[in-house]
Amino acid sequence: MPAATDHWMLDGRRSQARCGSLEVSLDLDRPAAGLVITTGPQPASVDHLLGLDLTASCPPSDHWLRGSDITAIYEPSDSRSLRATALWRLRACDAATAAWELIASAQTAILDSDPAVSVVADVAATDVRWLEATAPGSGWSTLAPTATLPARTAAVLAIRPTGSVVLFAPHPDDATQVDASWDQGRLRLSCRLFTRQLEKGVLLRSRVLAACGTARDTAWADRLLADFFASPPPLST
């Protein structure tokens, strides 16, 4: 029988949920696809948030549901001997806003390894705004269609064709760069985690926030970011 909470219903390694008007699904066998958000008729109204790109395909070696958290452990069979844990956590859910956090961690059984993984998103978008990490109080700037995100980007807002908005932001403590690319009206976002070599016995951990909002103003995004940026590091996954 599926395991259920007030947010997720887990059936094997597939889960589904509703948050406000959004339908959300997560296939733990496809972590790079992340949270699949359906906002209307497919395929234009399907977005992917908080995917974990391990650079190698593998099913989870273990997974579990606890409250509004879904956790999966991945051990790709490549030379890195990487053991990655992904925890998808609900942060907010109401009629106007839905927000999730991905807490990713990595460790290795060999003396020295490349632990790099990426958190990715793919959304339908007509406009992009970005927030400067060194001056978050300065407000959001519009990104030109052919421009790349500056290295100092702290967060990204993608405006959907319907007028709703998607927020994407790594935690500032993790000092990772957000990259963006366009493909036929869709915006792909990526931030690379764990860029330094990993030694045996060391655990690396990082956090990324994603949210959907119905309002085009940035007040809701500013509130979510302030709460996320001020949140203490997770003690465990």
Encode the chain (237 residues) as per-residue pLDDT tens digits: 344 444 788 888 999 888 877 889 999 999 999 999 987 665 557 899 999 998 888 889 999 998 889 999 998 777 667 788 999 999 888 888 899 999 998 877 665 666 678 999 999 998 999 998 765 556 888 888 777 888 888 899 999 888 888 999 999 887 688 999 988 888 999 998 877 766 666 677 889 999 999 877 788 899 999 999 988 887 654
The number of distinct structural domains making up the chain is: 1
Domain membership of residue 159 (yes or no) is: yes
- DSSP H/E element including 226: helix 219-230
Domain membership of residue 237 (yes or no) is: no
Domain membership of residue 200 (yes or no) is: yes
The sheet with strand 97-108 has its strands ordered as: 62-66, 69-74, 82-93, 97-108, 204-213, 165-170, 153-159, 127-132, 140-142
pLDDT score at 112: 66
Domain membership of residue 62 (yes or no) is: yes
Expressed as residue numbers, the domain containing 121 is: 3-230
Spatial neighbors of 47 by CB under 8 A, at least 6 apart, are 36, 37, 39, 121, 122, 123, 124, 160, 166, 212
pLDDT score at 134: 61
In this structure, what CATH number is given to the domain that contains residue 224?
2.70.98.90
Domain membership of residue 205 (yes or no) is: yes
Domain membership of residue 235 (yes or no) is: no
pLDDT score at 170: 93
Domain membership of residue 236 (yes or no) is: no
